[in-house]
Amino acid sequence: MTHRHITDVIDDYIDEELDISTAEEVRRHLEQCRTCRAEYELALRLRNILSGNSAPDPGEDYFNEVSALISAKTVETYQTETAVTNLEQQRRNNKRAFYRSLVSVAASLVIFFTALIFGSTQNKPVTVNVLSYQGTSRVAAATENDDNDNVILTPAEQRNLIKGIILLGSPGHFEQCGILSDLLP
Amino acid sequence: MQDSIPELVKAFSDGDNLAFAILVKRYQRKIYALAYQMLGNHLDADEVVQETFVRIYHKRQELKHVSNFSSFLIRVAANYSIDLLRKRKIHGELTDDPSSLPGNIQIYMSRRVRTPSDLYEDKTVMEEIRRALDQLPPRQKITAVLHDIEGFSKTEIAAILECPEATVRSNLHIARAKLKKILKNRLSKE
């Protein structure tokens, strides 16, 4: 075994990682060779000095404190985050439920008024009382001239009139409906 | 407290916070020692300990697929130490300036030595080793610290650093050769 060979395997020899026969060969060489023995002792001293260089002990109090800090940064933060997330989720759900109910109420109202308006015009003449208006209008004038009953518009006219009112009317309806024509400048 | 590490790790990954607290207690000294050897001061070592466990907590779902928790934990600590080491090389290093340490930490750190001459000798040796280790590149430094100071085997280091065992051997060989050269005077005194 040469000096060069020994230098290569000396760390493995100290770490006891060589097979038995090679280790024995190294041991015998070290007994005879002063240069290699000096190399071996240097490596061993380095190992001892490093292994003896333990980190200082900051004490039990420090480690208790660190455990508490880690817990605060992890477990407690996670629990708080979870609680906040749940609360936000609940708020979102409540908001969604509120909007849903608002839409339902609006839809119900639309249906109700539509039914009311259309229902009131089915096979039933419109009377002056339905479209009563205090101001000057052609509707009122027409009523005064009618002796038998208050009918002033045919069902088709009523439908058109209502449609006109709902959609703010076409020019024809503005003329027919005194209320709207009076409101216009 | 009688639970084995795999049982604790399983319980922790299933959401048991008590198991996490026990794991912190069991490993915090080991992580502190490694970080201190790598960074050479209490404040950085403290940061590594806290950050390592915070990272582990956030990676708890991954732990179900981890076969060796200890290696995984040391890897997280080693990687963070290397990051911090690189940062310190750029932005300047911290030291164990007594005024920057809490009172109880100073007391405990001074208790590890017996006499004033021991204190001086220990401090001198530690400082020399620290300076020598600081001259190594991060990968060689962590390999030397893990093997020669913390006592991990080459196979364990290969698992921790996720590299072939041959790389560990090579890094260790180069690191030792450099350390021998740097610490020549100290070694001849011993």
- Which residues of chain B from 88 to 147 reach within 8 Å of chain A, CB to CB? 102, 104-105, 107-109, 111-112, 125-126, 129, 144
Domain count for chain B: 2
Q: Are residues B103 and B132 in the same domain?
A: no
Sequence-ordered list of residues with C-beta below 8 angstroms from that of B12, at least 6 positions apart, any chain: B19, B20, B23, B60, B63
Q: Are residues B65 and B39 in the same domain?
A: yes
Q: Are residues B88 and B99 in the same domain?
A: yes
Q: Are residues B9 and B70 in the same domain?
A: yes
Q: Are residues B105 and B132 in the same domain?
A: no
Provide the pLDDT for residue A130: 46
CB A52, CB B186: distance < 8 Å: no
CB contact under 8 A, B36 and A56: yes
How close is the nearest chain B Cα to the Cα of A1, in Å? 20
Q: Are residues B58 and B6 in the same domain?
A: yes
Q: Are residues B76 and B2 in the same domain?
A: yes
B123-156 core/surface letters (b: 16 or more CB in 10 A; e: else): eebbebbeebbbebebbbbbbbbbbbbbebebeb
Q: How does DSSP assign A62-78, residue by residue? A: HHHHHHHHHHIIIIIHH
What residue numbers bound the domain in which B118 lies?
Answer: 113-190
B87, B111, B135: which is the final residue of a domain?
B111
Phi and psi angles of residue B186, each rounded to the nearest 5 degrees, phi first: -65, -40
Provide the pLDDT for residue A122: 63
Test mutation, A40, A74, A81, chain B, max B CBs within 10 A: A74
End-to-end CA distance of chain A: 120
Cα gap B88→B80, rounded to integer Å:
12
Q: What tokens appear for B158 in the block?
A: 């290969």
Provide the pLDDT for residue A140: 47
Provide the pLDDT for residue B87: 86
Query: What ipTM was assigned to the predicted interfaces of this complex?
Result: 0.75
Q: Are residues B141 and B122 in the same domain?
A: yes
- Touching check for B25 and chain A: CB below 8 Å? yes
In 10 A of CB B63, how many CB atoms? Answer: 17
Q: Are residues B147 and B102 in the same domain?
A: no
CB contact under 8 A, B108 and A53: no
CB contact under 8 A, B32 and A71: no
Nearest to B82 by CA among B136, B28, B153: B136
Considering only A21-30, A99-108, B9-18, B105-114, which range has the smallest mean pLDDT?
B105-114
Cα gap A150→B111, rounded to integer Å:
111
Cα gap B125→A56, rounded to integer Å:
13
CB contact under 8 A, A45 and B187: yes
**Residues lower than pLDDT 50 in chain A:** 128, 130-147, 170, 173, 180, 184-185
Please compute the mean of the pLDDT values over residues B19-44 and round it to a whole number.
Answer: 91
Provide the pLDDT for residue A52: 78
Residues, chain B = 190
Cα gap A4→B94, rounded to integer Å:
41
Q: pLDDT per residue over B169-188, tens digit each?
A: 999 999 999 998 888 887 77
Nearest to B139 by CA among B60, B86, B72: B86
Question: Whose structure tokens read 């004033």?
Answer: B116
B111, B141, B176: which is the final residue of a domain?
B111
* Runs of H (alpha helix) within chain A: 3-14, 20-32, 34-51, 60-71, 77-121, 138-144, 155-166, 171-176, 178-183
Cα gap B189→B126, rounded to integer Å:
15
Cα gap B97→B48, rounded to integer Å:
18
- Touching check for B53 and chain A: CB below 8 Å? yes
Contacts of A61 in chain B (CB under 8 A): 104, 108
End-to-end CA distance of chain B: 43
**DSSP helix/strand/coil, B29:** helix
Contacts of A45 in chain B (CB under 8 A): 187, 190
CATH code of residue B7: 1.10.1740.10
Contacts of B180 in chain A (CB under 8 A): 42-43, 46
Q: Are residues B89 and B177 in the same domain?
A: no
Cα gap A172→B8, rounded to integer Å:
85
CATH code of residue B145: 1.10.10.10
* Residues of chain A that touch chain B, judged by Cβ-Cβ distance less than 8 Å: 11, 17, 42-43, 45-51, 53-59, 61-63, 66-67, 69-71, 73-75, 78
The chain B residue lying nearest A72, using CA atoms, is B54
Q: Are residues B96 and B8 in the same domain?
A: yes
Q: Are residues B23 and B95 in the same domain?
A: yes
Cα gap B31→A66, rounded to integer Å:
12
Could you give the C-alpha distances from A83 to A65, A87, A89, A90, A93, in angstroms and in order? 25, 6, 10, 10, 15
CB contact under 8 A, B50 and A70: yes
B68, B88, B111: which is the final residue of a domain?
B111
